[in-house]
Amino acid sequence: MRIIPVILLLCCVMVFSCGDDKSSGSETESVENTNQNAKITAKTIESIDYKDYALSPESEKILVSWEKYQELAMQIKYLKKADFSFFNGDKELLKKFIEEFKSQIPEEVKTNPTVSRIAIIETALLKLNENLTIDNIDRKDKILGIRDVFVAFSNLNFQINKKLERDFYDKIQPE
């Protein structure tokens, strides 16, 4: 008689322990979700919040001859469309581009604040290159790196506009 309750207990334990293996299914789903979340899309980049300053028409006229600035502006437009080819390429090519970028600054905008903004862009570009080329960097860090490049370039535009506006108002003579 004592055997019947023991057998019933063992049967209940086996019935409750047997069943769908949900834990392995959820692990596969979480790995798939992580892989999907790791990809940064244009929509993700579009949702990045920052103040984007455009160049004034006067600034555009002066910067039209600065080839490396125009190239960087084009690459940032590509970055906004999730094209990382320029930013995750060879680090030496990026350093060479930055050196040429710094050496070709037009004299009209070459001031200490502008040069410091260019140094910040250099840092942001190199940091983004590292974030995009190293595999174990979190998606959030990559997005922050992209945001840093956008903010640095926008601040450079703001500084250039500010410099040229100040020069314009300094030329105005009181009557």
Are 156 and 121 contacting, i.e. CB atoms less than 8 angstroms apart? yes
Q: What is the pLDDT of residues 158-167, one digit of tens each?
A: 999 999 988 8
pLDDT at 38: 60
Q: How far apart are CA 155 and CA 110, in angstroms?
A: 15
Q: Give 21's pLDDT tier (boundaries 50, 70, 90).
A: low
Q: What is the pLDDT of residues 59-108, one digit of tens each?
A: 999 999 999 999 999 999 999 999 999 998 899 999 999 999 999 999 98
Token pair belonging to 134: 């190293």
Sorted by sequence, the CB contacts under 8 Å of residue 43 that are 6+ apart come out as none
Q: What is the pLDDT of residues 96-141, one digit of tens each?
A: 999 999 999 999 899 999 999 999 999 999 999 999 998 899 999 9
Sorted by sequence, the CB contacts under 8 Å of residue 46 that are 6+ apart come out as 80
Question: What is the amino acid identity at position 144?
Answer: L
Sorted by sequence, the CB contacts under 8 Å of residue 104 that are 6+ apart come out as 66, 67, 68, 69
What pTM does this model have?
Answer: 0.75
